[in-house]
Amino acid sequence: LPPHSADWQSAPDGVDVLLGRDLIQSHYPNFDKDVATALHIRRAGDISGQQLGQYMLETMRPLGAQFQQAKALDIAKTDRFAVDVLADGARQTIKADIIVNAAGPFAAHVAAMHGEALPIVNVLQQKIAFADRSRAVDRKMPFAIDLDGQTLAWSDDEREALAAAPEFSRLLAPMPGSIHCRPDGGDHGEWIKLGWAFNAEQTTEPVREPELNPYFPEVVLRAASRLQPKLAHYLGALPRDRVHYGGYYPMTRENWPLIGAAKTPGVFLAAALSGYGTMGACATGDLCARAIVGAPAPAFARSLSLARYDDKALMAELAASGSRGLL
């Protein structure tokens, strides 16, 4: 069914499997004509992380929650936790009975403050956004992810230049899939976003302002134009008002989150949510809260916690599969 409304609750549940080039072209004529299989998630959409966070803050404040922004410096444990923080240029200590480590890419750093190591690495993910004034992407197109690996199309001169530079020669080799594209700003908007974590095997130490690859916009555009050929119109001609930004995917080796009790008594985790942080945030908070107060939790909660590493059968199964989802 075509998306008649932005109301996701009125959409049918489930997944459509589209097989055959003609069928896919009839629904998504902007896709490359060679696309032979597509999976359509019916109740997908997009969420504003900022608005979700603001809604939660407004809900929590009447219940007594307070918001304080500071930089954690150290954590000591005696009868209670003593958290040294830097706030407004002054160092102070906050006493706490319980700590929830939801520090995103810095979760391992926070854990190290109280003497614990977490099996988390960080992968830098970059994106670009720009005004699609040529209407290369249909405004009603869903968030589309090209799962096929590919070899980027370069001219002979470009290939020669890339081959001569060791830091760029990898762009000549077969590349992973998962290039994604989506309209931004609703049906009447103009901007689109492109992203690609092609450096999924290259981990890095997190910093507040990560150094971005200046060639990324051209590379991701070239990759995205394979699924949506009209994007090639922007090769070498990206709008000047484009935005190039990036952040980290904090993840475990198997790319499953860490939710629930840490090894240190009194510390709980809501971490390693990789590229599905906003999507999994509310469920993560629910599982973490259940672990804190000792409330009943679903059976799968153990598999999403640090306790899974004690399950040798599960970890052997994950290692044997050799797969990890990456948005």
Structural domain boundaries of the chain? 1-44, 68-97, 99-114+254-327, 121-251
Nearest to 233 by CA among 248, 221, 245: 221
Buried/exposed code over 257-271 (b: 16+ C-beta within 10 A; e: otherwise):
bbbbbbebeebbbbb
Beta-strand (E) ranges in 34-184?
A: 37-41, 71-77, 81-87, 90-96, 99-101, 121-131, 144-146, 179-184
Report how far residue 310's alpha carbon sits from residue 42's, in angstroms, rounded to the nearest whole number: 37
Mean of pLDDT values over 143-157:
89
pLDDT of amino acid 164: 87
pLDDT digits (tens, 9 = 90+) for 19-66: 999 999 999 999 999 999 999 988 876 778 899 999 999 999 999 999
Q: Is the pLDDT of residue 325 over 70?
A: no
Of the candidate ranges 56-60, 100-104, 180-184, the one whose mean pLDDT is the lowest: 180-184
- For residues 207 and 182, the answer to whether their CB atoms sit within 8 Å is no
* Token code pair at residue 203: 């981990």
Residues 6+ apart with CB under 8 A from 133: 190, 239
* Token code pair at residue 166: 């060791």
Which is it for strands 81-87 and 90-96: parallel, antiparallel or unpaired? antiparallel
pLDDT of amino acid 260: 98
- For residues 274 and 290, the answer to whether their CB atoms sit within 8 Å is no
pLDDT of amino acid 214: 87
Of the candidate ranges 54-68, 78-92, 151-165, 237-251, the one whose mean pLDDT is the lowest: 151-165
pLDDT of amino acid 213: 86
Mean of pLDDT values over 158-162:
87
Helical (H) or strand (E) element with 251: strand 243-251
**Amino acid letter for position 51:** Q
Q: Is the pLDDT of residue 177 over 90?
A: no
pLDDT digits (tens, 9 = 90+) for 214-235: 889 989 999 999 999 999 999 8
pLDDT level of residue 236 (50, 70, 90 thresholds): confident
CA terminus-to-terminus distance, the chain: 25
pTM, two decimals, is 0.87
3 state DSSP class of 133: coil
Given the candidates 3.50.50.60, 3.40.50.150, 1.20.1740.10, 3.40.1180.10, the CATH classification of the domain at 99-114+254-327 is 3.50.50.60
pLDDT level of residue 112 (50, 70, 90 thresholds): very high
